[in-house]
Amino acid sequence: MNIIVTGDHGMSEIIQNVVLENYNITGQDIYVVEMIPSLTAFVNNATNWPLVWQRLNKMPNVTVYRERDIPDKWHFKNNDRVPDLVVIPDDGVSIVCF
CATH 3.30.1360.180 correct for 16-96: yes
Q: How confident is the model at residue 6 (pLDDT cuts 50, 70, 90)?
A: low
CA–CA separation, 91 and 16 (whole Å)? 10
Share of the chain above pLDDT 90, in %: 4
Average of per-residue pLDDT across 72-77:
85
First to last CA, the chain: 47
Query: Residue 20 above 70 pLDDT?
Result: yes
Average of per-residue pLDDT across 79-86:
84
CA–CA separation, 74 and 53 (whole Å)? 21
Query: pTM for this one?
Result: 0.74
Query: Residue 4 above 80 pLDDT?
Result: no
